[in-house]
Structure 1
Amino acid sequence: MSQQASEGDAPSTSNTRFEDTNIVLPGGTIGMVGGGQLGRMFAIAAMQMGYDVVVYCDSADAPGAQVATRCVIGDLNDHQQLTAFAEQCDVISLEFENIPAQAIACCGQQAPTFPSHHVLATAQDRLIEKQTFRDAGLAVTPFLQVSSAADVAAFAERHAWPVIVKTARSGYDGKGQYRLQDAEQAAQVPWAEHDAWIAEQFIPFQREASVVVARSRNGSVRCFPPFENEHHNHILDVSFCPSTLTQSQIANATEMASKAAEVLDLVGLLCVEFFVQEDGRLLINEVAPRPHNSGHLTIEGNHTSQFQQHVRAICGLPLGDPNLRCSGAAMANLLGDLWQAAGGNPPWNQAFSVPNVSLHLYGKRDAKEGRKMGHLTATADSPEQAAQNVRDARQRLSCDSK
């Protein structure tokens, strides 16, 4: 199914030699390890482009499995089933970084798999990730490996309280993360529950931004314009674009994101989250080697969505135009709390009364508190208006104003 790549985008300045120059054209089969909402939106984009998509997940009712060409049901530690899945694919990707690296290595024995298990091994460990980027000269939050309250107190002597303590592995949306004000609070951290922890300096940032960068199999790199992000209870709440970053900050953010992708030798997408400090400097907070929640607004707002760009990158196609096709775009998450407040299905007709609002639901059956069930996007004449529109549309779902 694969054909030899033709000349396209110029390769990056990376020292990597891309020996596999084959491309996977529409009509080929893409494997997706993981059947959550990111796998679902990837599958929709890939199938619109003419690909077959096989999803590997634990349930035929998983969000990704609902829309894919077919699915393979299995455990991530079942290498026999993983092999049977991978043998059906021309290229394989994954929707989330907390997948066992050995599972991805198993898939990689049957078909090109991006990102590689080497990228996962770095992204799955916050300590390795921070060290990798620091050693490459990228600005990261000051950090230290810790294992006790005494270690945190010693770190605070250098960097002051409060201190952010996180598990080195696993944890997202604020899980496994503690903001400690003093040594007494540090003593309350359940240190024995995890074998590795990281302490980070608390950064009094002005705002948060993220850049999604795509790096193709031929080494070409393209960045989406930065998204500005607002969080609630450690979960992304609203993102909008264009951001309020200056042109100098935008250039810095895209340069750092591009370098981070090259340092990791990534093929696919990488989201780099930044703290924008009060003096205007940017620090890398975290990265994720996949499409990102903040990039969902690209589905309606950009010439190429982050999911279509992901398909292009792993298949070796020329990368698409990542720029906005409107003056402003925004996204608001829809959590399970909304269903609980409505006592069932929210009054969707109320949201559609707001101009240029689009609804994306993920096919999840159980609306739990804090669970991402879907999102709203809006395009408008400005990012401020787009953000106001998604907030307004979501607010109308909280009570039926018929």
Structure 2
Amino acid sequence: MSRPDPTGLAPGAVLGILGGGQLARMMALAAADLGLRAHIFAPEPDSPAYEVAARHTIGAYEDEAALAAFADAVDVVTYEFENVPAATAAFLAARTPLHPGARALAVTQDRLSEKRFVSELGLAVAPFRQVDSLGDLEQAVAALGRPSVLKTRRFGYDGKGQVKITADTDLMQAWEEIGHFPAILEGFVSFAREISVVAARGSDGSFAAFDVCENEHRDHILALTRVPARIGAVASAAAIDAARRIGEALAYVGVFAVEFFIVEDAAGEQVVVNEIAPRVHNSGHWTSEGAQTSQFHQHVRAVCGFPLGAATRRGTVTMENLIGDRVHDWRAILAEPNAHLHLYGKREARPGRKMGHVTRVLPQGD
């Protein structure tokens, strides 16, 4: 198959998705709404996205024969998670369009490169130090103080791969706990709120941001998102502008999220970049019913070269993650007049596992 031009895609084309979890599932459903067929590539024998996709391939991300066949069967490739191996991304990009591109992956897969990238854009981040050894950790803690947070540079999510360094923390034990992996120490940020901007950028440079949302975490897992965020107009505009600058600097195509801390000081509310996610994002699930265009439809539009949709908010919205046994309350949720239930098709509810989410939308002004 020759390399297609994503701007020339139309209904009937095939969207390839790396990863078979709930984000891929929701992308596949959005693709079907737009007359596209989804082809999932993932190593797991049983994944939530398989149930709703036109086709799936079970294969290792290092299996070049399987990847080549996958590339030949699709018109454009995207992914649901940022830890796609760099070699896999390069292999596919040489055969078919890949969005977001390799640079976005390279920058955001590594917390150290991400912090340096954001800092070079002139945006505020927590103070940080590179940590490659116990000695580095000792020097970093001496520089940044306690409390601080030690994080692996790669593969951390939902609180995994990180240790809080407090006055009582034994540094050797902390270093052992993260497995001697290359790490980063971040200075502790005393913040008033956690917010995020979910936005999309098209291949033509078009940009659309959803309203800033406010996030509440429990046990390091996103539990609740509220929109609009309870912040002032200046901070909201600064967060959206930061997201725009990040997207432009990465030449990004698709939906992405930027997480921020809101720090209150004598000058007012300051936005501090925490993390970038080069994909559709849990804090953007509210858009499924709460915005004119959901983040999943927006992502499919962007990577396929379609016009971006309106990101207008439809009301006052909350999104609750259904974690573990909370999913068993599905019947009561369905009885709520303003609730919209999304279940991911996972067979076993385990502690800390995201089983679904529910959005609740009240009309503007309620």
Given the two structures, how large is their TM-score scaled by the length of structure 2?
A: 0.94
Equivalent residue runs for 1:373-388 within 5 Å: 373-381=355-363
Instruction: Provide the residue aligned with 2:310 in structure 1.
Output: 321
Post-superposition offset of 1:186: 2.0
CA, structure 1 residues 67+139, in 2 after alignment: closer, same or farther (shift >3 Å)? same
Instruction: Provide the residue aligned with 2:243 in structure 1.
Output: 257
* 1:269 and 2:251 matched: no
CA–CA distance in 2 between the matches of 1:54 and 1:43? 8
Residue 22 of structure 1 aligns to a residue in which SS? Answer: helix
Instruction: Provide the residue aligned with 2:347 in structure 1.
Output: 365
- Contact (CA 8 Å) 2:133, 2:180: kept in 1 or not? no
Aligned partner (choices 287, 308, 313) of residue 276 of structure 2 = 287
CA–CA distance in 2 between the matches of 1:362 and 1:39? 10
- Contact (CA 8 Å) 1:165, 1:178: kept in 2 or not? yes
Amino acid aligned to 2:141 = A
CA, structure 1 residues 217+182, in 2 after alignment: closer, same or farther (shift >3 Å)? same
Amino acid aligned to 2:307 = P
Equivalent residue runs for 1:33-182 within 5 Å: 33-59=18-44, 61-182=46-167
* 1:23 and 2:12 matched: no
- Contact (CA 8 Å) 2:203, 2:253: kept in 1 or not? yes
Mark the runs of 5 or more structure 2 residues left unpaired by the alignment. none
Aligned partner (choices 283, 291, 294) of residue 302 of structure 1 = 291
- Contact (CA 8 Å) 1:360, 1:375: kept in 2 or not? yes
Amino acid aligned to 2:343 = L
- Contact (CA 8 Å) 1:299, 1:305: kept in 2 or not? yes
Instruction: Provide the residue aligned with 1:354 in structure 2.
Output: 336
Equivalent residue runs for 1:382-401 within 5 Å: none
* 1:332 and 2:320 matched: yes
- Contact (CA 8 Å) 1:105, 1:116: kept in 2 or not? no
Aligned residues: 362
Post-superposition offset of 1:265: 1.7
CA, structure 1 residues 159+59, in 2 after alignment: closer, same or farther (shift >3 Å)? closer
More off after superposition, 301-310 vs 278-287: 278-287
CA–CA distance in 2 between the matches of 1:352 and 1:183? 46
Residue 350 of structure 1 aligns to a residue in which SS? Answer: helix
- Contact (CA 8 Å) 1:164, 1:179: kept in 2 or not? yes
- Contact (CA 8 Å) 1:360, 1:376: kept in 2 or not? yes
Amino acid aligned to 1:120 = L
Percent identity reads: 43
Amino acid aligned to 2:354 = K
Aligned partner (choices 207, 215, 232) of residue 218 of structure 2 = 232
Amino acid aligned to 2:139 = A
CA–CA distance in 1 between the matches of 2:40 and 2:132? 38
Residue 262 of structure 1 aligns to a residue in which SS? Answer: helix
Post-superposition offset of 1:229: 0.2
- Contact (CA 8 Å) 2:6, 2:76: kept in 1 or not? no
Residue 188 of structure 1 aligns to a residue in which SS? Answer: helix
Instruction: Provide the residue aligned with 1:187 in structure 2.
Output: 172
Post-superposition offset of 1:150: 4.2
More off after superposition, 123-132 vs 104-113: 104-113
Amino acid aligned to 2:89 = I
Aligned partner (choices 188, 213, 220) of residue 202 of structure 1 = 188
Post-superposition offset of 1:262: 1.3
Amino acid aligned to 1:217 = S
Post-superposition offset of 1:149: 4.5
Mark the runs of 5 or more structure 1 residues left unpaired by the alignment. 5-19, 340-345, 386-402
Spell out structure 1 runs of 4+ moving beyond 6 A. Answer: none
- Contact (CA 8 Å) 2:19, 2:81: kept in 1 or not? yes
CA-to-aligned-CA distance 1:176-226 (integer Å, 9 cap, x gap): 011111374322114472431000010010010000111111111111111
Post-superposition offset of 1:348: 2.4
CA–CA distance in 2 between the matches of 1:286 and 1:182? 25
Residue 127 of structure 1 aligns to a residue in which SS? Answer: helix
Root-mean-square deviation (CA, aligned residues, Å) is 2.1
- Contact (CA 8 Å) 1:102, 1:117: kept in 2 or not? no
More off after superposition, 111-120 vs 179-188: 179-188
Residue 48 of structure 2 aligns to a residue in which SS? Answer: coil
Instruction: Provide the residue aligned with 1:212 in structure 2.
Output: 198
CA–CA distance in 2 between the matches of 1:70 and 1:222? 30
More off after superposition, 365-374 vs 143-152: 143-152
CA–CA distance in 2 between the matches of 1:89 and 1:161? 50
- Contact (CA 8 Å) 2:152, 2:162: kept in 1 or not? yes
CA–CA distance in 2 between the matches of 1:353 and 1:185? 50
Amino acid aligned to 1:293 = N
Residue 286 of structure 2 aligns to a residue in which SS? Answer: helix
Post-superposition offset of 1:21: 6.8
Aligned partner (choices 192, 198, 209) of residue 223 of structure 1 = 209
CA–CA distance in 2 between the matches of 1:375 and 1:281? 30
CA–CA distance in 2 between the matches of 1:381 and 1:284? 31
CA-to-aligned-CA distance 1:64-92 (integer Å, 9 cap, x gap): 11100111111111111011011111111
